[in-house]
Amino acid sequence: MTLLSESTIPGAEEGLFCRHDVTKETLLSFYHGLNVPYDCDYTQELYAFDEVKFYLLLSRRTLNNTFKEKKILNNVYKIMIESNDTYYIDLPLEVGRDTSLYRASLGHKVNHSFRPNCRYRRMQHPRWGEIVAIFSSRDIRAGEELLCNYGYEVDKYLVPAWYRDLWQRVQGDMLTGHHRA
């Protein structure tokens, strides 16, 4: 149903593409990873055996970034399941980026757009239980990149700089009547 390839979005690295023409409301991909209880800071627990290695691994890509930017990178693949107050789904940054480390599901490779062709939806998976899945929100042609609106709340939470910049451009475009991603 899908194909992983270089994204059409500058700087986005990989993206997920539709292999065949599909109609609206087609299940395209699953989004799964670690089920992390809301009251657990798993980064501390997973890497407690070698905290130095974890921070070196994280800082290799973020050497000149601030603490806030590092915190954002720790949350790149975190996704909440609506109405689930027990756990969220997450993948550590390096695991989510590298499909040789994780490819059981590829929903985390769907990139953002304010004009999406897909949406996230909660579903019950026969093996993983309650997860998030990617469904088409309109008919999609073969070869089109799958895009979801990440729905970050810019005024409420810490969000990546690229998202804030794009959000501000889109807000400005809405005022002037232009249309953008």
Say if residue 117 is in the same domain as residue 178: no
Say if residue 159 is in the same domain as residue 144: no
Task: Give the list of residues 6+ apart from residue 94 with CB closer than 8 angstroms, or none.
Answer: 57, 101
* pLDDT in the model for residue 53: 44
The model scores a pTM over 0.85: no
Report the half-sphere exposure of 50 (CA within 13 A, side-chain side): 5
Task: Give the list of residues 6+ apart from residue 181 with CB closer than 8 angstroms, or none.
Answer: 9, 113, 114, 115, 166, 170
Say if residue 164 is in the same domain as residue 113: no
Say if residue 44 is in the same domain as residue 132: yes
* pLDDT in the model for residue 62: 46
- The mean pLDDT value for 15-37 works out to 95
Task: Give dist(CA 166, CA 164) in Å, integer.
Answer: 6
Among 34-38, 66-70, 87-91, 126-130, which is the least confidently predicted range?
A: 66-70
Say if residue 165 is in the same domain as residue 111: no
What digits encode the pLDDT tens for the residues 67-119? 666 666 677 788 888 778 888 888 888 888 899 999 999 999 999 999 999 99
Q: Label residue 160 by pLDDT band (50, 70, 90).
A: confident
Look at residue 9 and tell me whether its pLDDT is greater than 70: yes
Say if residue 130 is in the same domain as residue 173: no
Task: Give dist(CA 51, CA 131) in Å, integer.
Answer: 29
CATH number where 41 lies: 2.170.270.10
Task: Give the list of residues 6+ apart from residue 29 with CB closer than 8 angstroms, or none.
Answer: 1, 2, 16, 105, 106, 107, 110, 133, 134, 146
Q: Label residue 171 by pLDDT band (50, 70, 90).
A: confident
Neighbours of 151 (CB within 10 A): 10
Q: Which residues are catalytic?
A: 31, 108, 112, 120, 150
Say if residue 96 is in the same domain as residue 8: yes
Domain count, the chain: 2
Q: Label residue 6 by pLDDT band (50, 70, 90).
A: very high
Enclosing domain of residue 166: 155-181
Report the half-sphere exposure of 69 (CA within 13 A, side-chain side): 10
Look at residue 181 and tell me whether its pLDDT is greater than 60: no
Geometric angle at alpha carbon 34, from 19 and 16, rounded to 5°? 15
